[in-house]
Chain A
Amino acid sequence: MSLATAGTPGVRPLVSIRNVSKQFANGTLAIRGVDLDLFGGEFVSLLGPSGCGKSTLLRIIAKLGQPSAGTVEWPTSTHSASGEAHPDLGFVFQDPTLMPWSNALKNVMLPLTLAGAPDGEAQARSAEMLALVGLKGFEKSYPRELSGGMRMRVSIARALVTRPKILLMDEPFAALDEITRHRLNDDLLGLWWQNRFTAVFVTHSVFESVYLSQRIVVMAARPGRVMADLKNEAVYPRDALFRTSAEYAHLCRVASETLKQAIAA
């Protein structure tokens, strides 16, 4: 694992975060002076202890929060007439955040419906997406009839149904048991491998970040800031064997060490 160089020269980043800070109304400085470039198709983890502002940063990228200072630019995305970027993004919350009154299919259809897609087309695409996350046959099931892992799959299907350029995930598997989490990690990697969206994955698990990502952005708390940007060069496919390999153990040790230094700093 090595420190990442700041992207490949000449390649425009998908998202360009410059000197972003966020101060909440109560005075808490959530993040300070974050500089980060995210490139098309890469799998990036934001790793850090709780309170390091990684979720805040993710929400700012998704425009669910405004930075107090600094800019977030989308050089390659479409912009509205007023100059506001309209990036294609998907968001997966910590909770599945499904509409309990709608079945799985209707939940996945939501982004398409809101975009004004015709019902038939939205249905077909959503059914296809549900099948892709392994939930064929569950279209008519209501969220409460599904297990925690299955609800998260619906949530991921909903985030991917618009075929976004970037998928933002806020500790999506933190509440799941380890068996389910490992399986979802594998399936997420599979989806990413096939569709090559940019994945930004917030986690506080060193093991999860090393298993999944090409780049690990290590953050520290109070105030939240980026401490290191590690490149994880382990080759894909990564699977159960990778999880038990000496290489994985070594990478985890390096990442843990970096995280420990970041927390101590």
Chain B
Amino acid sequence: MNDLPRNSPLPFPPPLAGEGRVGDGTDADARPVFARERRVLGIAVSTWPSIIAPIAIGILMLAAWEAIVRIRGTPAYILPGPLLIGQTLWSDWGTLSESLVITLRITFGALAAAIVVGVALAIIFTQSKWLEKSLYPYAVILQVTPIIAIAPLIIIWVGDIGLSLLICAWIVAFFPILSNTILGLSSADHNLVDLFKLYRADRWQTLRYLRLPAALPYFLGGLKISGGLALIGAVVAEFVAGTGGSASGLAYRILESMYRLQIPRMFAALFLISASGIAIFGIISMIAHFALRHWHESAVRREN
């Protein structure tokens, strides 16, 4: 080191930037090299087992169920086998699909209303502490009151069955979205909040560029819960309204089948409710994944 001339000509300022730097050991070299994994039917080979395993378990369980019902000769009005349920689903598809559409319409209507009202209220609450303090307790009261207890009242007051079912499902569904979005809106990184202050961002800019994106993972978490709750709310309200007759959603079909001892049809309706719930969850999970996959820990795949 000592025999290096102190005043050897070195470029200053140091060469900054550009493609010229790649390969000189700077950060620009940190760009990763990708190797593609083999795919079958567009799905990576390593993810196939996680798809096949639950399906295999399901088929096994159904086979065992069918076998037990046949071997023991259980009558269909106590426990129908999966094959009979499947047949009923096929033969009664006309009425069942109509009921499915009615129930799903209420569910998605309630979910949409829950998103609009939940997010709007959350934004209003985080803009004004006073509004939050005065209104939030009532949102909690709405949440903790059992829907089954107030559904009859709502049906009487509103009159229109469809609308009252929508309101019931909405009451159940909106709270998780409200509370999660409030949490999300107020958990933006404090340094980022300072940064926005530094650049004199107004309320609207801070909301649009900082608070709303920061709240997105929380909102989607709430949406996942609310999706299932909207369906449950719709079914519960239908049960209460049930024998009124004009609305004939899936819950009504279950009640009807029970009275008529058409147990396979009851199971078929039950199957449709469960399948709808799973589908709603799946759709919301997929939306969450695509919305967050680039940046949020929950959606990012890690390897060690």
Contact = CB atoms under 8 A, between A and B. Distances in A.
Interface of A: 62-64, 86, 89, 91, 93, 95, 97, 99-103, 110-111, 113-115, 131-138, 142-144, 146-147, 149-150, 153, 180, 183, 186-187, 189-191, 193-194, 236-237, 239, 241, 244-245
Contact of B28 (A134, A144, A189, A245): A134
Nearest to A95: B191
Interface of B: 1, 4, 6, 8, 10, 12-14, 16-19, 21-22, 26-28, 30-31, 189, 191-192, 194-201, 205, 209-210, 213-214, 216, 294-296, 300
Contacts of B22: 137
Contact of B199 (A115, A135, A146): A115
Given A115-B199, A134-B18, A147-B27, 16 more contacts: A100-B296, A101-B216, A131-B18, A134-B17, A134-B21, A135-B27, A136-B17, A137-B31, A138-B31, A142-B294, A147-B30, A150-B30, A153-B27, A190-B14, A193-B13, A239-B12
A96 B31 CA distance: 19
Nearest to B205: A114
A237 B13 contact: yes
Contacts of A186: 14
The 10 A-B pairs at the shortest CB distance, nearest first, are namely A237-B12, A190-B13, A97-B191, A100-B295, A101-B213, A114-B199, A193-B13, A150-B27, A131-B17, A190-B14
Nearest to A183: B26
A190 B13 CA distance: 5
A244 B31 contact: no
A99 B201 CA distance: 15
Contacts of A133: 16-17
Contacts of B213: 99, 101-102
20 contacts: A62-B198, A63-B198, A64-B194, A97-B195, A99-B213, A102-B213, A113-B209, A114-B205, A115-B199, A134-B26, A137-B31, A138-B28, A144-B295, A183-B27, A189-B13, A190-B16, A239-B14, A241-B10, A244-B1, A245-B6
Nearest to B292: A101
Contact of A134 (B13, B27, B199, B205): B27
- With most chain A CB atoms within 10 A of its CB, the pick from B17, B21, B26, B196 is B17
B16 A91 contact: no
Contacts of B210: 99
A114 B295 contact: no
Contacts of A134: 16-18, 21, 26-28
Nearest to A128: B17
Contacts of A131: 17-18
A178 to B, nearest CB: 14
A243 B22 CA distance: 25
B194 A236 contact: no
A137 B295 contact: no
A112 to B, nearest CB: 9
A209 to B, nearest CB: 20
Nearest to A89: B198
A191 to B, nearest CB: 7
Contacts of B216: 101
Given A237-B12, A239-B14, A101 B295 contact: yes
Contacts of A142: 294-295
Given A97-B195, A147-B30, A153-B27, A241 B294 contact: no
Nearest to A132: B17
A146 B26 CA distance: 13
A213 B198 CA distance: 25
Contacts of B8: 241
B180 to A, nearest CB: 17
Which of A114, A149, A150 is the most central at the interface, judged by chain B CB atoms within 10 Å of its CB?
A114
Contact of A91 (B12, B198, B294, B296): B198
Contacts of A143: 295
B209 A144 contact: no
B302 to A, nearest CB: 10
B209 A110 contact: yes
A215 B163 CA distance: 73
B201 to A, nearest CB: 5
A102 to B, nearest CB: 8
Contacts of B21: 134
Contact of A111 (B12, B18, B192, B199): B199
Contacts of A97: 189, 191-192, 195
Most buried by A among B27, B189, B200, B213: B27
B103 to A, nearest CB: 35
A137 B8 CA distance: 33
A114 B13 contact: no
A203 to B, nearest CB: 18
Contacts of B19: 136-137
Q: Which of B13, B22, B197, B201 has the most chain A CB atoms inside 10 A of its CB?
A: B13
Nearest to A246: B6
Contact of A187 (B16, B197, B209): B16
A26 to B, nearest CB: 18
B6 A187 contact: no
A189 B200 CA distance: 28
